[in-house]
């Protein structure tokens, strides 16, 4: 009997395998795709229960309307939102990211990566391997800036809270190598202020902290973050290597207000300050863990978290702790609430994390479009994260005001006017040539000299002032960079023509 049953099972498996190999009806592939999409939606909802969240359906509908309005106004292709409350997490996805958006869709975090670097340093502090008050040179003897004496005074804590004196912008190395290769580039950097005297946000300080972590642990930075933070917190859709990241959203850069997909190289050497990758689901788990009163078992103690979030460096509307900004917001009743937050901005991604620890609530916003233009307007992700977080404090959602599209319209019109003025100069060169016959050669030489100075200022002065190379400008803000190069090309053509006419013009003949 047993043999007969086994034989029947084998025959059934063979029949089922034959059925699966039979050609499908032309309608079946489409039906399969629909069923698969529905299954993904159901699986997403089942995997991420809202639980006993306190937001009512009308409140969620208002948030949906608010987010869609903001992303359309700024032409953001995709937004992944997580709202954390004591009863659970609510996930919302809007738009597209080159694939169906889910809570597990991943984004490059930008400066939100700094919080993970700070947490790893604090772990080493608790293990007695790092002293926050010690000089960085204790762990990295080769670390130095232009001022040798100041180099010895810069401490680990000063790098964590951005009071080291390192400037906000430091020219990047010309290669994507190891973290340690960033250190020699600092030897000629002049500090913006004496160490420990004031707050100046400087990403390069977190690059140095990444090298410090590698030196103390004798492991690559990415592996440290993986097995010390991602693995214990079960952040299965968080990555330290862009080549192995799953479900990565397609990033976009703005070209005069319109997002264009950009597949930029993964910056392995900027992991500690801007290169980590994660999803809304994993970041919600991360924020929930950080808001535990008793610390995170196996990761960090209660005292370690308290030190991590203690503000020490006053900034513009906030105080900087270690990898986090700390602000005070009032609720509708006028009660002050502590807010712990940090944003991230890359050429093709933007996002922000907000924690309201007194309410055990938080917000994650990840977007897949960005620009490096220094607009006074906050990033879409930052505005949305703050707006949703304030709604958790019973404040009304912000009304629509100035948006990125409006700002870009002004910039585009200004750029077009300047470009048209340069074209008009080229079109008027024939008239200039005729008029030049009556002008003194010295006056023509002065005019050409001024135009050459303008060209040099555009090609050399602007990058120096911004502390970036042309390759960085083309990477982070291609619209502005190509506009400037086009302007420089037209200017150079006109100046070269004037120079040729001036040098070939015969001196006037004096008659007796």
Q: Where do the domains of the chain lie?
A: 66-396, 405-504
Q: Residues 429-459: pLDDT tens digits?
A: 988 888 888 888 888 889 889 989 988 888 8
* pLDDT attached to residue 366: 98
Q: Which of 7-11, 130-134, 489-493 tops mean pLDDT?
A: 130-134
Q: Is the pLDDT of residue 404 over 90?
A: no
Mean pLDDT of 358-362: 94
Q: Residue 68 has which token pair?
A: 């869609």
Give the pLDDT band (50/70/90) at residue 68: very high
165 versus 466: the higher-pLDDT residue is 165
* HEC assignment per residue over 70-118: HHHHCCCCEEEEEEEECCEEEEEEEECCCCCCCCCCEEECHHHHHHHHH
On average, the pLDDT of the chain sits at 85
Of 165, 223, 228, residue with least CA distance to 194: 165
Classify 162 in phi/psi space as left (phi over 0), alpha (psi -120 to 50) or beta: left
- Return the H-helix or E-strand segment holding 91: strand 88-95
* pLDDT attached to residue 198: 93
Q: Which of 116-120, 314-318, 470-474, 477-481 tops mean pLDDT?
A: 116-120
Mean pLDDT of 83-105: 93
Give the pLDDT band (50/70/90) at residue 502: confident
Of 375, 338, 367, residue with least CA distance to 355: 338
Q: Residues 378-391: pLDDT tens digits?
A: 889 999 999 999 99
Q: Residues 456-498: pLDDT tens digits?
A: 888 888 887 777 778 878 888 888 889 999 999 998 999 999 8
Q: Which of 34-43, 88-97, 214-223, 309-318 has the lowest mean pLDDT?
A: 34-43
Note if the pTM is more than 0.75: yes
Task: Give the torsion through C-alpha atoms of 118, 121, 125, 131, to 10 deg.
Answer: -100
* pLDDT attached to residue 330: 85
* pLDDT attached to residue 13: 42
CA geometry: angle at 511 spanning 509 and 512, to 5°? 150
3-class DSSP state for residue 355? strand
Q: Residues 73-82: pLDDT tens digits?
A: 999 999 999 9
Query: Are 80 and 107 contacting, i.e. CB atoms less than 8 angstroms apart?
Result: yes
3-class DSSP state for residue 76? coil
* pLDDT attached to residue 42: 34
Between CA 73 and CA 143 the distance in angstroms is 45
Class of domain 66-396: alpha beta
């Amino acid at each position: 009997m047993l043999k007969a049953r086994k034989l029947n099972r084998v025959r059934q498996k063979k029949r089922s395998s034959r059925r699966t190999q039979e050609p499908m009806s032309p309608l079946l592939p489409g039906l399969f795709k629909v069923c698969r999409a529905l299954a993904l939606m159901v699986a997403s909802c089942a995997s991420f229960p809202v639980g006993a969240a306190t937001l009512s359906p009308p409140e969620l509908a208002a948030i949906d309307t608010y987010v869609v309005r903001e992303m359309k106004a700024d032409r953001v292709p995709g937004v992944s939102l997580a709202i954390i409350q004591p009863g659970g997490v609510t996930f919302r996805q809007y738009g597209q990211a080159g694939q169906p958006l889910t809570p597990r869709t991943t984004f490059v975090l930008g400066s939100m990566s700094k919080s993970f670097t700070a947490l790893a340093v604090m772990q080493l502090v608790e293990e007695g391997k790092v002293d926050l008050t010690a000089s960085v040179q204790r762990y990295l003897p080769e670390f130095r800036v232009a001022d040798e004496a100041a180099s010895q005074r810069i401490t680990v804590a000063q790098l964590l809270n951005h009071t080291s004196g390192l400037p906000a912008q430091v020219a990047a190395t010309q290669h994507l190598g190891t973290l340690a290769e960033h250190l020699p580039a600092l030897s000629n950097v002049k500090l913006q202020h004496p160490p420990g005297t004031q707050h100046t946000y400087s990403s390069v300080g977190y690059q140095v902290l990444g090298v410090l972590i590698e030196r103390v642990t004798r492991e690559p930075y990415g592996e440290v973050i993986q097995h010390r933070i991602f693995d214990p917190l079960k952040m299965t859709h968080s990555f330290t290597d862009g080549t192995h990241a799953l479900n990565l959203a397609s990033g976009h850069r703005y070209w005069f207000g319109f997002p264009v997909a950009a597949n930029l190289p993964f910056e392995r050497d900027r992991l500690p300050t801007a290169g980590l990758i994660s999803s809304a689901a994993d970041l919600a788990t991360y924020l929930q863990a950080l808001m535990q009163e008793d610390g995170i078992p196996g990761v960090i103690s209660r005292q370690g978290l308290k030190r991590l979030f203690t503000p020490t460096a006053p900034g513009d509307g906030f105080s900087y702790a270690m990898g986090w900004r700390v602000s005070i917001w009032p609720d509708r009743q006028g009660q002050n609430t502590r807010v712990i937050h940090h944003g991230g901005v890359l050429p093709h991604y933007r996002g922000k994390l907000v924690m309201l620890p007194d309410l055990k609530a938080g917000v994650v916003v990840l977007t897949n479009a960005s620009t490096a233009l220094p607009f006074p307007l906050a990033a879409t992700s930052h505005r949305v994260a703050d707006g949703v977080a304030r709604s958790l404090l019973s404040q009304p959602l912000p009304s629509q005001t100035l948006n990125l599209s409006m700002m870009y319209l002004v910039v585009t019109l200004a750029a077009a006017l300047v470009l048209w003025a340069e074209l008009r100069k080229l079109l008027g060169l024939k008239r200039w040539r005729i008029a030049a016959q009556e002008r003194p050669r010295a006056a023509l030489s002065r005019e050409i000299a001024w135009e050459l100075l303008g060209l040099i200022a555009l090609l050399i002065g602007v990058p120096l002032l911004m502390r970036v190379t042309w390759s960085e400008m083309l990477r982070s803000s291609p619209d502005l960079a190509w506009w400037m190069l086009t302007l420089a090309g037209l200017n150079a053509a006109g100046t070269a023509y004037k120079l040729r006419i001036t040098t070939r013009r015969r001196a006037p003949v004096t008659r007796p």
